[in-house]
């Protein structure tokens, strides 16, 4: 069978292609030369399957879509506390290039508008790095995220620098405020190079799928961003990624996203997929007209919306299996599967607390088909095992994927050996 998904994406592209509203960005002279008819969409699942339709291999400069990724690098390199000290996380409701700082704290409102993005750029590597080191770090990280070597488009860089008065104004304001300590012009040059990196929609789908995959690049399997940092970045994308259209976006599309002035839009749905659309004409907020349309359509057709209820807890366990041996000793086996978070663990706890342990010889908990377990789920399961063992039942946890890690031994206060009865502690 040929997968129907590429056909579906083509249908979406065709349906949106007739909209010729909006206009090319022209404050960066080179962007006004883009072909306005381009339209492409790419999806990447978190295990690296890419589906694409339309102009997905055409290069364009990444522009503001660089912001969430550089924010991630800033946090990794300088630490979240330091970054939060300098950049807030509040939606501003302002345009992306607003010359404004948060009342009271004097910080840029968030890292998705230029003021916050310029401040993020200054925190890459560390506060003391040089212009070249910062750009090098950004290029290397972006190349790893996209899975191919990327380059700065020097023509677009020069073109933007020739009219970068607003961003220079913002950087001088940040310097006066003590948010950045480096030379404002150097920072704006580095930031503008960061925005001038050439990418395709296919690259961006993989970059956003890395965010959806807790920071692991889906195809190389390499961890590029720490999961905690990804959570921070996606949260800010959700509330601030589409500038002053954020509220509309959250309700209609419901996917953490970022747009750029060259016509790209990315979205990352945690645990599911990354997507990217490219089409250069922009609406009044500076978001790609067809990019927004394609995302609205995808979200409506596919239920890809953060607030869509997924109920992972319901499939966590099958009915307990009971075996009685020749001596009449009862063994209950509980097989768990899928992704186990707090509510999944609650289901297991509930089932175990309803077990009649009176004549129960042993309990086997099989984790073979569980692929992720949150920290709290591990603690809950270990505590349940400990309590059942205290009732005089021999408890065995089959954990071939070592999901319990070391936490179990600490929490139990007794050695836990995989596939051995849990000692009553
Ligand atoms: N919205 C955007 O994509 C803006 C990025 C652009 N480089 C700027 O700083 O103005």
For 325-365, give the DSSP string: -TT--EEEEEEEEEEE-HHHHHHHHHHHHTS--TTEEEEEE
User: Are β-strands 321-324 and 273-278 bridged in parallel, bridged antiparallel, or unpaired?
Assistant: unpaired
Share of the chain above pLDDT 70, in %: 95
Does residue 411 surpass a pLDDT of 90? no
Mean pLDDT calculated for residue range 253-264: 96
| Cα–Cα distance measured from residue 171 to residue 114, given in angstroms and rounded to the nearest whole number | 9
Per the annotation, the verdict on 67 as an active-site residue is yes
| Cα–Cα distance measured from residue 207 to residue 276, given in angstroms and rounded to the nearest whole number | 9
Give the global pTM. 0.91
pLDDT score for 43: 97
Tokens of 213: 């995959």
The residues, any chain, with a CB within 8 Å of residue 211's CB and separated by 6 or more, are: 68, 225, 230, 233, 234, 256, 268, 270, 274
Total length of the chain: 425
Mean pLDDT calculated for residue range 272-298: 96
DSSP type of residue 20 = -
160 annotated to bind ligand = yes
| Cα–Cα distance measured from residue 302 to residue 123, given in angstroms and rounded to the nearest whole number | 38
When mean pLDDT is compared across 50-54, 184-188, 287-291, 327-331, the lowest value belongs to 327-331
What band does 309 get if pLDDT is binned at 50, 70 and 90? confident
Pocket test for ligand 1, best of 94, 95, 114 (most atoms within 8 A of CB): 114
Per the annotation, the verdict on 8 as an active-site residue is no
pLDDT score for 123: 97
The residue with tokens 């768990």 is 336
Domains assigned to the chain? 5-302 (3.40.710.10), 312-422 (3.30.750.24)
Ligand 1 atom having least distance to the Cα of 160: 7
When mean pLDDT is compared across 4-18, 166-180, 318-332, the lowest value belongs to 318-332
Tokens of 377: 């789920």
Go through 387-403 and write b for each residue having 16 or more CB atoms within 10 A of its CB, e for each that does not. Answer: bbbeeebbbbbebeeeb
Pocket test for ligand 1, best of 261, 262, 264 (most atoms within 8 A of CB): 261
pLDDT score for 18: 95
Residue ranges lining ligand 1, Cβ < 6 Å: 63-64, 96-97, 114, 160, 167, 195, 260-261, 286
Mean pLDDT of the chain: 92
pLDDT score for 413: 41
pLDDT score for 407: 61
Does residue 401 surpass a pLDDT of 90? no
N-term to C-term CA, the chain: 55
How many angstroms does the Cα of residue 403 sit away from the middle of ligand 1?
43
Tokens of 21: 């509203």
């Amino acid at each position: 069978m040929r997968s129907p998904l590429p056909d579906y994406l083509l249908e979406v592209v065709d349906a949106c292609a007739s909209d010729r509203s909006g206009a090319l960005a022209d404050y960066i002279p080179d962007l006004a030369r883009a072909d306005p008819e381009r339209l492409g969409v790419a999806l990447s699942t978190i295990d690296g399957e890419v589906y694409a339709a339309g102009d997905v291999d055409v290069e364009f400069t990444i522009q503001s879509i660089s912001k969430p990724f550089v924010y991630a690098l800033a946090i990794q390199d300088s630490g979240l506390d330091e970054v939060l000290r300098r950049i807030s996380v509040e939606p501003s409701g302002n345009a992306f290039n607003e010359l404004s700082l948060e009342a009271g704290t004097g910080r840029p409102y968030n890292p998705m508008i230029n003021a916050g993005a310029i401040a993020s750029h200054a925190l890459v590597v560390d506060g003391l790095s040089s212009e070249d080191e910062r750009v090098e770090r950004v290029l290397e990280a972006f190349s790893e995220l996209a899975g191919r070597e990327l380059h700065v488009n020097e023509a677009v860089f020069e073109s933007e620098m020739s009219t970068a008065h607003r961003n220079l104004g913002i950087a001088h304001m940040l310097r006066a405020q003590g948010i950045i300590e480096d030379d404002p012009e150097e920072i704006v040059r580095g930031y503008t190079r960061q925005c001038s990196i050439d990418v395709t929609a296919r690259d961006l789908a993989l970059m956003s799928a890395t965010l959806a995959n807790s920071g692991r690049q889906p195809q190389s399997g390499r961890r590029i961003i720490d999961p905690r940092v990804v959570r921070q970045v996606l949260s800010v994308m959700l509330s601030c990624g589409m500038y002053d259209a954020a509220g509309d976006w959250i309700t209609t599309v419901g996917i953490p996203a970022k747009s750029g002035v060259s016509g790209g839009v990315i979205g990352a749905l945690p645990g599911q997929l990354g997507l990217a659309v490219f089409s250069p004409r922009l609406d009044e907020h500076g978001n790609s007209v067809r990019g927004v349309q394609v995302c609205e359509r995808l979200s409506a057709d596919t239920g890809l919306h953060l607030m869509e209820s997924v109920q992972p807890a319901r499939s966590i366990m099958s009915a307990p299996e009971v075996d009685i041996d020749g001596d009449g000793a009862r063994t209950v086996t509980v097989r768990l599967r899928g992704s186990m978070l707090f509510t999944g663990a609650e289901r297991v706890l509930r089932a175990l607390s309803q077990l009649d342990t009176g004549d129960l010889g042993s309990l086997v908990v099989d984790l073979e088909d569980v692929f992720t377990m949150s920290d709290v789920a591990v603690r809950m399961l270990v505590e349940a095992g400990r309590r059942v063992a205290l009732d005089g039942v021999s408890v065995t946890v089959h954990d071939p994927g070592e999901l319990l890690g070391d936490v179990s031994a600490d929490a139990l206060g007794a050695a836990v050996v995989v596939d051995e009865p849990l000692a009553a502690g």
